[in-house]
Structure 1
Amino acid sequence: MSEPKVRRRAPAMDPDQRRAMIVSAALPLVVEYGPLVTTAKIARAAGIGEGTIFRVFTDKEALLAACLEEALRPDDTVAHLEGISLDQPLPARLTEAAEVMRGYMNRIGDVAGALASLGKATRPPDPDAADMEEAHQQREAGLTAPRAALAALLEPEREALRLAPERLADVFQLMLMSAGRSGAPGPLDDAELVDLFLHGAMAGQSGETGGEER
């Protein structure tokens, strides 16, 4: 006679761990269903009871806001950028960085677009000055750390660059942001964008060195 199977309980999590686990399960569903995603569906994806969600989040809107906040977090992106080998030639470094940055921007666009698709963005419709300033600070924080990591990729070539790595990292980031989503028709691919960044628009032109103080 076989012994009855004993159902093992999931390991206990502190509130921060459980919050992160729920958000991680919710993110792909938010992209797929937008604000119509149900907490029941999120709970099934997370392998928890629906009531557990409301022990961590006050309501579904708070969970959706946390998903958008997580999409804006640059931590993983910065870690990937910092992991790019400086032993590679500069074009290879920047092409790899462009792929990483496009993935980050696509993720933000997917989540923000899904939540706004039915006019149910998570922030108030008429934010006051404090809300607008907080939103600005969040956006800037999401750009500052990746910009510093991009500058570090340019640092070995500092003496050959026309501008300081920090300024060029800002330009490169702006080019990536304006180039459009990867996979969409029309935008430059990563290698094309890097070539344009490094060599400019004129065919056969070599970049000048020296110039501005570094």
Structure 2
Amino acid sequence: MTENPRTPARRRAPAMDPEQRRAMIVAAALPLVVEYGASVTTAKIARAAGIGEGTIFRVFPDKDAVLAACMAAALRPDEAVAHLGAISLDQPLPDRLAEAVEVMRGYLTRMGAVAGAMVAAGRPERRPSSTSDGPLPDREAGLAAPRAALAALFEPERDRLRLAPERVADAFQMLVMTSGRPGMAEPLSTEDMIDLFLNGAFDTGKEKK
């Protein structure tokens, strides 16, 4: 059969090394784990990744290893830290912090969704201590890198701060983490949270009666 000269020849996608393949599979699997929990099938993951199911098992020994890698990816703050580091320091501080809140909430939401989906589907709540990618970050390690990135956002105002940027960032991080916790009558909006943090609880526009 003669090839139609008008039809460009299909190019084979460049080969991935095992680490790239693992990362691609985990990226495809994460939203499925949020939706289906541990009951997600490797067939669904393969379809989402655009690969054959057998390809998964060339880089993962079994589905449990895929799920553990998804949990590890959800816990690691690397992506959030990169986004925090990209926030422009030329903006006013409230605008910097508004961007930071959205980044942190996205990270916390993803982490909670993956963990919650796994538990709801009957997985043990206790997470594994490591994967084939290495040890999972503990709680403090997972908070330290975002806290350092948040401190950098406060650094231009160091001379105006009552505490060092690192301590202010620690307090701000805790506020973000607890502002949307279950049981709150009405979660704080980003604007209200930043205003409360920077200006305190008193409304300076109201005179004391």
TM-score (norm 2): 0.85
Count of aligned pairs between the two proteins = 196
Is 1:64–1:122's contact at 8 Å kept on the other side of the alignment?
A: no
Counterpart position of 2:105 = 102
How do 1:48-87 and structure 2 match up within 5 A?
Answer: 48-87=51-90
- Opposite residue 80 of structure 2, the aligned amino acid is T
- Opposite residue 164 of structure 2, the aligned amino acid is A
Using the alignment, how far apart are the partners of 1:92 and 1:47 within structure 2? 39
Counterpart position of 1:33 = 36
Using the alignment, how far apart are the partners of 2:53 and 2:190 within structure 1? 42
Shift of 1:7: 5.7
Counterpart position of 1:210 = none
Is 2:83–2:103's contact at 8 Å kept on the other side of the alignment?
A: yes
Counterpart position of 1:203 = 203
- Opposite residue 15 of structure 2, the aligned amino acid is A
TM-score (norm 1): 0.83
How do 1:145-164 and structure 2 match up within 5 A?
Answer: 145-164=145-164
Quote the RMSD (CA, aligned, Å). 2.4
Using the alignment, how far apart are the partners of 1:64 and 1:71 within structure 2? 11
Using the alignment, how far apart are the partners of 1:87 and 1:153 within structure 2? 10
In the alignment, structure 1 residue 177 sits paired with structure 2 residue 177: yes
Using the alignment, how far apart are the partners of 1:46 and 1:31 within structure 2? 16
Counterpart position of 2:193 = 193
Deviations 1:125-158 (A, max 9, x none): xx8xx88xx66x5322221111001001001111
Is 2:38–2:122's contact at 8 Å kept on the other side of the alignment?
A: no
SS of residue paired to 2:138: helix
SS of residue paired to 1:54: helix
Using the alignment, how far apart are the partners of 1:89 and 1:49 within structure 2? 49
Moved segments of 4+, more than 4 Å: 4-8
Using the alignment, how far apart are the partners of 2:74 and 2:165 within structure 1? 27
Distance 1:97 1:75, change over 3 A: same
Using the alignment, how far apart are the partners of 1:123 and 1:12 within structure 2? 36
Distance 1:195 1:54, change over 3 A: same
SS of residue paired to 1:55: helix
Deviations 1:47-86 (A, max 9, x none): 1111111111111111001001111121111111111111
How do 1:69-148 and structure 2 match up within 5 A?
Answer: 69-121=72-124, 123=126, 137-148=137-148
Is 1:23–1:63's contact at 8 Å kept on the other side of the alignment?
A: yes
